[in-house]
Amino acid sequence: MRVLLVLALGFGLQASAEARSLTLEAGNPKPKAQDEPATRAVLLRREREEKSRQLTPADPSRVERLLLDLENGRLFERLLNPAEGFYPRIGNISAGSGISFGPAYRRPGLFGGHADFSSFAAASFQGYWMADARMRMPRLAGETASIDIHAQRYEFPDENFFGLGPESRREDHVTFGLRNSIVGGTGAVHPTRWLAIGGGFDYLAPRISTTGDGRRIGVRFGDADAPGLGSRRDFVRFEAFADLNYREPRGNPRRGGRYALALQRFDDTADNRYSFSRVEADLQQYISLLRDRRVLALHAFVSTSDVDAGHEIPFYLQRTLGGPDDLRGFRRFRFRDRHMLLLQAEYRWEIFTAVDGAIFYDAGRVASRVEDLNPNGLESDYGIGFRFGTRNGVFLRVEGAFGSAGGKHFIFRFGHVF
């Protein structure tokens, strides 16, 4: 800004001096030597031109440097998401964990540059913890194929349950503990940079805990109204998917879209009593306004599940609504059932470097029958918030959600909503 003011002042003085020079020359047409300045004004003009060539940009202030580092994605990435080595992991490991902390490690370029290894262990003050390790091979066959092998173990000791269906009641609120181990892998082919088609499998060993502090699930519910509560089951999950993703930039989209379709099969390894199939579609569209300084972001997600007659879907594997990432005006997992529909819209605008504002609207519902997934009777909320991050991703969201039957909710969440 200081440079622009100096240049503007210089050009203004230059124009005034040249006007005076022309006036003097018109009134005194005496010829001058070729190398001698015609007037003192011309001499001053030449001196100013020489000084302007020697001008250097003003040093930015400490705040300006901080914002520029944030905007370019260097500050947080160097501290919290470096390309290689050990680093502190700060974030959320689940919707109910609160802020979690722990060590993380990343080692890219293994096996001749074909594989990247990453791992972390994190825990929160609420007693939630997770350990995760992954080996990714994203550059196979000339970067047209990828493989991901992963192992994960976690414990969420205080998950909410209100009963099944859209008519579940707040006064029936109880909690349960969930511990799970997952081992599996995925593979995909990439015909283009923005399209992935593939499949995968996982072995899951979920365990439910009915003991602990507070009002636990066994006090109010049994296996009849919370299927799978009294059983210990392992599952094999198979998945096929297609993902068309042309969002730009990927970490914090301003334009483009993503359209993903997934087909899943959960096989109960004991007697198939809890086996079921699931189909999910995730649609996102970003409409850029005013050269990416304003964005209209739209999101639709639908999940439907199918089970054979006489079989059940475990309550802890059913889809849920409510919490900081979907229906933000409701408590975590406020609604739970076999089928789920979610619609979201946000208007985002750039406030200043590395800070965006957002006005949002969420609507959705769960249902035991797929034909009940219609626009009638949707639960909804609206709100306003702020996002801190760069084009590479949103580091933090601070939001307030209002207008729902669940009351007002304040959200402090690491990572983007969609």
331-350 confidence digits (pLDDT tens) = 999 999 999 999 999 999 99
**55-59, 184-188, 290-294: the lowest-pLDDT one:** 55-59
Return the pLDDT at 190. 97
Place of tokens 């947080």: 76
**80-84, 191-195, 228-232, 370-374: the lowest-pLDDT one:** 80-84
Return the pLDDT at 24. 37
| Buried b / exposed e along 221-255 (16+ C-beta atoms within 10 A) | beeeebbbbeeebebebebebebebbbbeeebbbe
How much is the average pLDDT of 148-175?
97
pLDDT band at 160 (very low <50, low <70, confident <90, very high): very high
How much is the average pLDDT of 84-91?
93
pLDDT band at 72 (very low <50, low <70, confident <90, very high): low
pLDDT band at 38 (very low <50, low <70, confident <90, very high): low
Q: Is the pLDDT of residue 21 over 60?
A: no
Determine the distance from the C-alpha atom of residue 22 to the mean position of all C-alpha atoms in its chain, rounded to a whole number: 63
Cα–Cα distance for residue pair 345/362, rounded to 1 Å? 7
Q: Is the pTM of this model over 0.75?
A: yes
Cα–Cα distance for residue pair 383/358, rounded to 1 Å? 8
How much is the average pLDDT of 125-139?
97
Any idea how long the chain is? 418
**43-57, 348-362, 379-393: the lowest-pLDDT one:** 43-57
Residue type, 277: S
Half-sphere exposure of 249 (CA within 13 A, CB side): 10
Return the pLDDT at 407. 93
Q: Which two tokens stand for residue 242?
A: 């297609």
SS (H, E, C) 382-418: EEEEEEEEECCEEEEEEEEEECCCCCCEEEEEECCCC
* Residue percentage of the chain with pLDDT more than 70: 83
Neighbours of 103 (CB within 10 A): 12
Return the pLDDT at 88. 95
**pLDDT tens, position by position, 179-218:** 999 999 999 999 999 999 999 999 999 999 998 888 999 9
Query: Among residues 290, 134, 292, which one has the least CA distance to residue 202?
Result: 134
pLDDT band at 27 (very low <50, low <70, confident <90, very high): very low
**19-28, 60-69, 340-349: the lowest-pLDDT one:** 19-28
Determine the distance from the C-alpha atom of residue 256 to the mean position of all C-alpha atoms in its chain, rounded to a whole number: 15
| Domain range 62-414, CATH class | mainly beta
Q: Is the pLDDT of residue 58 over 80?
A: no
Q: Which two tokens stand for residue 203?
A: 């072995």
How much is the average pLDDT of 379-407?
95
What would you measure as the largest C-alpha separation in the chain, in angstroms? 112
